[in-house]
Structure 1
Amino acid sequence: MSLLEKTEKLQSSGVVKALLVTAALFVVLAGLKIATNIVVPFLLSVFIAIICNPLIVKASKYKIPKPIAIIAIIAIILTLVLLLGGLVGQSARDLSELLPEYKAQLNEQFVWLTARLAEYNIQISSDLLVEYFDPSAAMGVAASMLSGLGGVMANLLLIIITVIFMLFEAPSLPRKIHHALDDPDMKLNQIDRFLESVNNYLAIKTLVSIATGICVSLMLWLFGLEFYLLWGVLAFLLNYIPNIGSMIAAIPAVSLAVLQLGIGPAGAIGLGYITINMIMGNVIEPRYLGKGLGLSTLVVFLSLIFWGWLFGTVGMLLSVPLTMIIKIALEESKEGRWFSVLLSND
């Protein structure tokens, strides 16, 4: 066989392999899309278990029995979820009822604005302004997003039970993964680095997100803005999406501030969001996470669209953690490291 024939054969086999991988990927994605109702609660369970596991490990250092530690942590989480869920649910319902009132108020302001502009021969329709600038729409999207998350939390009992079993199985998980990857002697250090990186990333990101939500709620409460707890929870959830998450979280709160408090306080609230985001994202987070785990802004945006399409509201909220886990896994693989570099920032 000539060299040319060998080259053509290798190229054709490479093309066939790429087509097979692409086809398999589409089949897997289609299966995940169909099984969303099963996969999403499982993803939330894994997410919560990873966050809670460091607390279980910490409790074991103080000689606290694992069953007691798990029950205590689950009880705390369950209490917080029920309290916040009730308060946020009530706020979301009140906001939905007030949206027509806010829209009517906005129409009055636009009528006044177009009348002032007409005095200077600037003719703009108030209906056109409402169509292109509707803060009530932004608030409605935020309320719908939280309602969608509440629908997933209807499986709360199933999620909690799954988390409990995962926490009991957590210590044996690294050993099982080593055996599954034909490494019974535990020599593949990249497996341990991957598990440790995922644990550290999610735990630290969650703590920073909680601090962000508390700061936002406190700031809005000081300004006297309605539904400050709702916007704080939204800031906590969207803080998992770096770069653009904080901007998305600020839109409904600032929009409501324009209607309720006026343009001046709304601008101050927007400045407060920027300040909190800069401190959390540029000072606190890099100090504990480091800059080596960053994703490019384009990847963040595309992952938001992709995981949102695949898993809905929960997929959007977990888009960056899921992409981050894939990136960390690729970093530990020689074959996938090139793709990990493409996902990284500068």
Structure 2
Amino acid sequence: MWWTRRRSKTEAEKAEAADEAAATEATAAAATHVSQHRNAFILLGLAGGAVTAFGIAAIGGIFAPVFFALILTICVHPLRIALEKRGVPRGLATGSVIAAVTLLLIAFGYAVLVAFTQFAELLPQFKDQIVAWGQSAADWLSSIGINADELHDIASSFDPSSLIGFLGGLVGGLTGWVSILVIVFTMLLLMAMDAGFVPTLLQQQYPVRPLVAVSLVSYGSNVRRYMVVTTVLGLAQGLINWIALLIIGVPGAFIWGLLAFVCSFIPNIGYFIAIIPPIIFGGLVGGWPMVIAVIVVYGVINGIIQSVIQPRVVGKAVNLSQTITFFSVLFWAVVIGPIGAILAIPLTLLVRLLLVDTNPAMAWVRPMLGELDETKAIMAKFDADAKAARKARRAGQPAVNPDAAAAD
């Protein structure tokens, strides 16, 4: 009967309302439960991060070369895959990978040795100019009211040749060349042998932990793309700087070209580090005209390579905001030394892999870290709506709400 149907409908509505109320209460209770200890969890996370940072700093002499060997292994892994696809035995492919990395490191070490030798020969030639420049700087400070007596004493007693021993001791103290080379080559050998099992291991892990397997593959490809592209563009940048400085007439052009290549791995601040020495020696030789020429040349080369070419080639390999990138350089340089500034991006991507990419609950953090595709689309829509509203106001027409129009 009709009253029976009406009664059944009323009871169903009441049951649905009760279910919605229960779901709302459960959600509120869950939110209350989570928020009760939220601050404590944040403090525990910060404390754990601080302890981890201090721990990494304590073993920085081991951690840095091991991670560097890992990055080298990731970068040359496609060579192994290509050789194995062509039927090369796995052992021979491993030996080829190790030989390729060894040759690259030897070539870079030889370039550093040549640059250091040239620098040792260059400094004594400009001893008088450097001392005169220091005294003129002290005179200028005195002219603006700064007491520069101590600066005068330092400038008069400064011996540029003493920098050679200082730099040699600094390089030896920071890196410990012998021990680092032993660690790097040993880890390269072991990681190269273990890398042959990585594709199969990822296939085994995918059915159990698909997000972890996908994130690991993505990390390897992103780090490889970033490091390879940065290396190639850094070589081009160093070569162009070398040729340009030779044409301009700046002393030690090869040294500053190699420095530009190394500093190309340091985001944001590497350019400012690389430009200081050629400015100084260019100013000693040619004065302000040569200083301006060096600044213009470096600015054009750096602007084209690092601001135009590199972002387009690297693409989405590094989804990190500029603020996080700059902070990561400072942070890792403090934690593990100068090599931390060079490996800042791979290290930060590793932290992101462990804390965000492999945790489905942390997906909401990604836009804050630098994945801004959706954010840019929303901003573009807002800009288009604002532009349409401005046009409507100038035309004397009422502004149209796109959301309301879509609803109609």
Could you say whether these structures have the same fold, taking a TM-score greater than 0.5 normalized by the shorter chain as the test? Answer: yes
Aligned residues: 338
Write out aligned runs for 1:1-346 (5 A).
10-89=34-113, 91-92=115-116, 95=119, 99=123, 102=126, 104-109=128-133, 127=148, 151-152=176-177, 154-176=179-201, 183=208, 189-290=214-315, 293-327=318-352, 330-331=356-357, 333-344=359-370
**Contact 2:320–2:371 (Cα < 8 Å) also in 1:** yes
| Greater CA drift, 309-318 or 93-102 | 93-102
How does the TM-score come out when normalised to structure 2? Answer: 0.67
Instruction: Pick the structure with greater CA Rg.
Output: 2
**Amino acid of the structure 1 residue aligned with 2:360:** K
* Alpha-carbon distance, 1:31 to partner: 1.8
In 2, the alpha carbon distance for the partners of 1:100 and 1:84 equals 26
Residue pair 1:110, 1:126 contacting (<8 A) in 2 also: no
Query: RMSD of aligned C-alpha atoms?
Result: 4.2
C-alpha displacement of 1:310: 0.8
- Counterpart of 2:5 in structure 1 is none
Greater RCO, CA 8 A, separation 6+: 1
Shift of 1:180: 6.1
Contact 2:222–2:318 (CA<8 Å) still a contact in 1? no
Q: CA 1:210–1:113 in 2, change beyond 3 Å: closer, same or farther?
A: closer
Relative to structure 1, is the Cα distance of residues 247 and 309 closer, same or farther in structure 2, using a 3 angstrom cutoff?
Answer: same
Please report how far the alpha carbon of residue 39 of structure 1 lies from its aligned counterpart in structure 2 after TM superposition: 0.9
Deviates more, 1:164-173 or 1:176-185: 176-185
**1-structure distance, mates of 2:287, 2:106:** 34
Structure 2 stretches of 5 or more lacking a match?
A: 1-24, 373-408
Deviation at 1:271, TM superposition (A): 1.8
**Cα distance change, pair 184–340 in 1 and its aligned pair in 2 (3 A):** closer
Give the Å deviation of 1:249. 1.4
The answer as to whether partners of 1:327 and 1:340 remain within 8 angstroms in 2 is no
Code of the aligned partner of 1:32: I
What is the rounded CA distance, in whole Å, between the counterparts of 2:93 and 2:232 in structure 1? 19
Amino acid of the residue matched to residue 309 of structure 1? V
- 1:262 aligns to what SS in structure 2? helix
Relative to the length of structure 1, the TM-score reads 0.77
Q: In percent, how many aligned pairs have the same letter?
A: 24
Given that 2:80 and 2:93 are in contact with CA atoms closer than 8 Å, whether structure 1 keeps it comes out as yes
Verify the 8 A CA contact 1:88 1:229 in the aligned structure 2: no
Q: CA deviation at 1:262?
A: 3.1
Q: CA deviation at 1:96?
A: 5.7
The change in CA–CA distance for 1:36 and 1:186 in structure 2 (over 3 A counts) is closer
Change (3 A) 1:188 1:47: closer
Using the TM superposition, give the Cα deviation of residue 277 of structure 1 relative to its aligned residue in structure 2, in angstroms: 1.3
